[in-house]
Chain A
Amino acid sequence: MSAKTENRLLDVKGLTIEIETRRGPAVVVDGIDLHVDKGETLGVVGESGCGKSLTMLSLMRLLPNKIRVTQGEAHFDGRDLQKMSNRELRKVRGGDIGFVFQDPMTSLNPVMRIGDQLAEPLIYHRGMSRREARTRATELLRLVGIPGPEERIQAYPHELSGGMRQRVMIAIGLACEPKLLIADEPTTALDVTIQAQIVDLVKGLREKLGMSVVWITHDLALIAGLVDRVVVLYAGTIVEDAPVDELYANPRHPYTRGLLASIPKLSDAPASRLNSIGGTPPEPGRRPEGCPFAPRCPLAMDVCRSHVPKLEPVSAAGSHRAACFAVEKAREAA
C-alpha cells in the first residue's frame, strides 16, 4: 500500500460539490474518489453537466459563486489542497498544477500581449527577471509549435487563429513545468485537423517533461491513443474506472457501453440505426433515488431504483472498477 501511495500525485477522496438553487442545495458531484499517479495520463469522460469540469476546478478552488465543496479531501503531492491557505494555493496554481481551459478566447487576456501573459507565471512562480521570462516565453512558444515565436510574443490574442490561441494556452499551462497538467476540453472548439495537432503536441510534451496529465473530454475517440486510464462520470458519480485498453475492449457499465455504441464506427453499415441511449441525464437537484443511470438503463432492476451501487472491482487485478448492480451479478455468476 505504501508503495502505491508514494506514487500518487493527486488523490481525491469523497469529493462532494453542491450548487445553490432556488429549491435549496443540489448535489452536482457526489462523493467521488479519484487519483492520478506520477507520470500517468488520466482521461475523465462524461457528458455536459456530469461534473467533470467542476471536479477539476474545485481542486484549484476556482469554483464559480454558489457552487462549493461540502465534503472530501484532495491531496496533491502529499498536501491537502482544501486545507491550504489562499497564499499557499496560489503557489500551486499555475506552478505545480497547470491548467488549460476550453475556450482560449475567454481565458486569455485580450489587452495583454501573449508574451507578457506567458511571462507572468514565470516571474511570479519561478522568480525570473523580465528578461529571463521573455526568453523562456519565446522557448515555450517554439515548444508548442508556433512559427516565428520571436515576433509572436508581441501579438495580442485576437491576432492569432483559434488553434494558435489554444497552443498559447497550453504554453501558459506548461510554463512552470508543472507536475500535473489539467486540460479541460482543450480541443473541443477546434477543427479535427488542429485537434490532431494538439493531441500529438501534448503526447510529445508529456514524454519530454515527465508530467502527469488529466484530460477532460466528452470524446471517447479523441483520448483513445492518449491516456493510460479512463474514468467515466455520469451525473456526478464515477460509474467506471479502467485502464484504457480494458475500457474500450471490455466496457462493463451499461452507460459506458451505451456511450461507445453511440459513436459511429467505420465498420457500421451505411445509414444503420445507432444504438443510442434513450432519455436524458438528470438535472442537478432532480437526481433519482438509487443509481442515477437507472431511468435510462436497459438492465435496471428493482435494487437499482432504491440503492446506490458502489464502485467495485470487476476484474481480477482490481484495476477495472464499475458501479453497477447488474455487472456485479454477472461476475458472481461467472
Chain B
Amino acid sequence: MGAQPLLKIENLVKHFHVRLGAFGERSATVHALDDVSLDILEGETLSLVGESGCGKSTTGFTILNLHRATSGKVLYRGQDLTALDEKRMRPFRRDLQIVFQDPYSTLNPRMTVGEAIGEPILFHKLATKAELDGKVAALLTDVGLPPRFASRYPHELSGGQRQRVVIARALACQPKFIVCDEAISALDVSIQAQIINLLLDLQEKYGLTYLFIAHDLAVVRHISTRVGVMYLGRLAELASRDELFETPLHPYTKALLSAVPETDPEHERNRKRQILEGDVPSPLAPPSGCRFHTRCPIAMEVCRRVVPKWKEARPGHLVACHAVNGE
C-alpha cells in the first residue's frame, strides 16, 4: 500500500460510568470501547461498521478527543492527542474535523449559512473579515451550492443541502482528516448518492482522509479503501475493502454481510441467510472471553474464557477469532 499512517490508535479504551436505579443508587460501567488499535492511512477512507452500540461512533469521538479516552493513545504527527487539554488541542482541531448524522440539529438555526461556515475560519484566523465572503463563496461552490446560499438560514434548506453546508463548514479550515459519523444515513436514497459523490470528489481534490462510520454496508463497500468491523466495543476484523467483502474471516462479519439485501429479486428470494440469533448483549455486562461467543455459530469452549488476540491472519487482514487464528 505504501501510504503512511496519518493517525495511529493504540489500545484505545473508553468506559462510561452510568448511574442506575430510580435514585441513581447503583453505578455501572459501559464498556464502549475496549483495546482498539488501528492505523488510519493518509488519503484512505477507513470505514467502521457494526450494529448500534458497537462503539463505532465512540471510536470517532474518542479519536477527536471529544470523549476523553479512559486509556490508550491517539498519535497524530507524533503527538498523543489524548494527553492534550482542550486549549492545547485547539491547533489540532483545524486538521481534524467531523460531520454528524443529523444536519437538522448540527446547524445553529439563528445563524445564516455564511456565518456558520465563516465561524471556524475566523476562529482559526485563516482569513480577514474582508476576505471572508470570498472564502465562504468558494467553499459553497466546492460543495455544489450557489454562493447566494450564504445569506440563507438552515430552515430554508433541504436535508441534502444542509448536509452540504455542514461539509463546507468542516472543510473551512482545510482539514487533513474528517470523521463522517453516519453522515449520509439520514438522507433519502437519491440525495445519499449525491453526497457520496461529493465526498469522493472532495477527497480527490484535497487529499482528505476519512473515517467513515456507517451501518449501510452497500455504501461502505462503495466508498471505502479499508473496512473495520466492530462488535460490542472491540474490533472483530479489519481488511481491505475487497478482501473483507469477498473473503471475510470472522463469523460475525460473515453474518453481517449475509444480512445485506440486494436489488435482485431472484437472488433475494433464493438466498440462504445466516441469521444471527438474538440481540447484541448489553455493553454494561459484556460476555466473557470473545464477546461474540453468545451468538457465534462456531463458538468453542476457549471462546467463553479467553479474549481472542488481534492478529494478522493474512497480509493486511487482521482478525480477532480463536477459530481463525487457531489459538
Q: Which A residues have a C-beta under 8 Å from some C-beta of B?
A: 47-48, 147, 161-164, 191-197, 199-200, 218-222, 224-226, 244-245, 248, 258-266, 268, 270-278, 280-281
Contact in complex: B193, A271 (CB < 8 Å): no
- Say yes or no for B265: interface residue by CB 8 A criterion: yes
Sorted from nearest, which 3 A-B pairs have the closest CB atoms? A225-B268, A276-B193, A264-B222
Contact in complex: B191, A193 (CB < 8 Å): no
List residues of chain A with CB within 8 A of the CB of B265: 224-225, 244-245, 248
- Say yes or no for B298: interface residue by CB 8 A criterion: no
CB-contact partner of A259 in B190, B256, B266, B268, under 8 A: B190
A296–B93 Cα gap in the complex (Å)?
A: 38
List residues of chain A with CB within 8 A of the CB of B278: 147
CB-contact partner of A273 in B200, B268, B273, under 8 A: B200
A195–B273 Cα gap in the complex (Å)?
A: 12
Contact in complex: A196, B273 (CB < 8 Å): yes
- Say yes or no for B215: interface residue by CB 8 A criterion: yes
Contact in complex: B218, A265 (CB < 8 Å): yes
Contact in complex: B276, A193 (CB < 8 Å): yes
A196–B260 Cα gap in the complex (Å)?
A: 8
Counting chain A CB atoms within 10 Å of each CB, the highest count among B193, B216, B256, B273 belongs to B193
- Say yes or no for B263: interface residue by CB 8 A criterion: yes
30 A-B residue pairs with CB within 8 Å:
A47-B189, A192-B51, A192-B259, A193-B256, A194-B51, A196-B261, A197-B276, A219-B189, A221-B262, A222-B261, A224-B262, A225-B261, A225-B271, A244-B265, A248-B264, A262-B193, A263-B189, A263-B193, A264-B222, A265-B218, A265-B262, A266-B221, A266-B262, A271-B200, A272-B222, A274-B196, A276-B190, A276-B191, A276-B196, A281-B188
Please count the residue pairs between chain A and chain B whose beta carbons lie under 8 angstroms apart in the complex.
133
Contact in complex: A245, B222 (CB < 8 Å): no
B210-236 vs A, CB cutoff 8 Å, 1 = contact: the mask equals 000001111101110100000000000
Q: How far in angstroms is the closest Cβ of chain B from A105?
A: 13
Q: Which B residues have a C-beta under 8 Å from some C-beta of A?
A: 45, 51-52, 158, 160-161, 188-194, 196-197, 200, 215-219, 221-223, 225, 241-242, 245, 255-256, 258-271, 273, 275-276, 278-280
Contact in complex: A270, B241 (CB < 8 Å): yes
Contact in complex: B193, A268 (CB < 8 Å): no
Q: How far in angstroms is the closest Cβ of chain A from B252?
A: 9
**A268 and chain B: residue at smallest CB distance:** B222
Contact in complex: A280, B158 (CB < 8 Å): yes
Contact in complex: A161, B218 (CB < 8 Å): no
List residues of chain A with CB within 8 A of the CB of B188: 47-48, 218, 281
Contact in complex: A200, B275 (CB < 8 Å): yes
A189–B245 Cα gap in the complex (Å)?
A: 24
List residues of chain B with CB within 8 A of the CB of A268: 221-222
Contact in complex: B189, A225 (CB < 8 Å): no
Q: How far in angstroms is the closest Cβ of chain B from A151?
A: 15
A277–B160 Cα gap in the complex (Å)?
A: 12
CB-contact partner of B190 in A226, A266, A277, under 8 A: A277
A208–B215 Cα gap in the complex (Å)?
A: 32
List residues of chain B with CB within 8 A of the CB of A258: 190
Query: Given the known A-B contacts A193-B276, A263-B218, are A220 and B200 also in contact in the complex, defined by CB atoms under 8 Å?
Result: no
List residues of chain A with CB within 8 A of the CB of B218: 221, 263-266
**A247 and chain B: residue at smallest CB distance:** B265
Q: How far in angstroms is the closest Cβ of chain A from B248?
A: 13
Contact in complex: A195, B259 (CB < 8 Å): yes
List residues of chain A with CB within 8 A of the CB of B192: 262
Known: A200-B275, A262-B189. 6 other contacts (CB 8 A): A47-B189, A195-B259, A263-B263, A265-B218, A270-B242, A280-B191
A272–B45 Cα gap in the complex (Å)?
A: 13
Contact in complex: A193, B263 (CB < 8 Å): no
CB-contact partner of B189 in A147, A218, A226, A248, under 8 A: A218
Contact in complex: A262, B190 (CB < 8 Å): yes
Contact in complex: A191, B271 (CB < 8 Å): no
Contact in complex: B279, A271 (CB < 8 Å): no
A108–B264 Cα gap in the complex (Å)?
A: 34
A277–B280 Cα gap in the complex (Å)?
A: 36
Query: Given the known A-B contacts A193-B276, A225-B269, A264-B219, are A277 and B263 also in contact in the complex, defined by CB atoms under 8 Å?
Result: no
List residues of chain A with CB within 8 A of the CB of B269: 225
Query: Given the known A-B contacts A192-B260, A265-B263, A278-B194, are A271 and B255 also in contact in the complex, defined by CB atoms under 8 Å?
Result: no
Q: How far in angstroms is the closest Cβ of chain B from A61?
A: 28
Contact in complex: B194, A192 (CB < 8 Å): no
List residues of chain B with CB within 8 A of the CB of A263: 189, 193, 218, 263
A48–B191 Cα gap in the complex (Å)?
A: 11
List residues of chain B with CB within 8 A of the CB of A196: 258-259, 261, 273, 275
Contact in complex: B193, A164 (CB < 8 Å): no
Contact in complex: B161, A280 (CB < 8 Å): yes
A261–B262 Cα gap in the complex (Å)?
A: 12
**A270 and chain B: residue at smallest CB distance:** B241
Q: How far in angstroms is the closest Cβ of chain A from B262?
A: 6
Contact in complex: B279, A163 (CB < 8 Å): yes
List residues of chain A with CB within 8 A of the CB of B260: 192, 221
List residues of chain B with CB within 8 A of the CB of A195: 259, 261
CB-contact partner of A220 in B259, B263, B271, under 8 A: B263
List residues of chain A with CB within 8 A of the CB of B255: 193
Query: Given the known A-B contacts A219-B261, A221-B261, A221-B262, are A274 and B222 also in contact in the complex, defined by CB atoms under 8 Å?
Result: yes
List residues of chain B with CB within 8 A of the CB of A278: 194
**B255 and chain A: residue at smallest CB distance:** A193
**B223 and chain A: residue at smallest CB distance:** A271
Q: How far in angstroms is the closest Cβ of chain A from B5?
A: 20
**A283 and chain B: residue at smallest CB distance:** B158
**A220 and chain B: residue at smallest CB distance:** B263
List residues of chain B with CB within 8 A of the CB of A147: 278
Query: Given the known A-B contacts A200-B273, A270-B241, are A194 and B279 also in contact in the complex, defined by CB atoms under 8 Å?
Result: yes
A147–B259 Cα gap in the complex (Å)?
A: 21
Q: How far in angstroms is the closest Cβ of chain B from A232?
A: 12
A219–B264 Cα gap in the complex (Å)?
A: 12
Contact in complex: A277, B264 (CB < 8 Å): no
